[in-house]
Amino acid sequence: MTKLIGYYVALIFRIWDFLAELARGGTTVIITTHYIDETKQAHKIGLLRDGQLLAEDSPSEILRKYNCDTLEDAFLKMALRQHEVTNRRRSSELIVFFFYIS
């Protein structure tokens, strides 16, 4: 099993090297991943949650903007903020809904 993991890691590095070479040659490369750590090499990233775009910028700018050391922490801040906003909207909708019933 350990050998397979080593091959997998080596393959990932080769893939990223290939994609970086394409980008240096002027090709736009669009990648989707669930591994935020992989996005650090990109010029620009978009972070999605529940179908909503939370941020679109360079990894370094996202880290600066959210005052975080890791993209995972920045994403967590964005996700918590989105959750709070969604809950506030739902609460106010319920209040309005019940207001009209009474």
Q: Where are the beta strands (DSSP E) in 23-97?
A: 45-49, 52-57
- The candidate with the shortest Cα–Cα distance to 80, out of 41, 54, 43, is 54
pTM of the model: 0.71
Q: Is the dihedral of CA 17, 28, 65, 83 positive or negative?
A: negative
pLDDT value of position 90: 59
- Distance CA(74)–CA(77), nearest Å, equals 5
Domain boundaries, the chain: 1-100
Using one digit for the tens of pLDDT, what is the confidence trace for 52-83?
A: 899 999 999 999 999 999 999 999 999 999 88
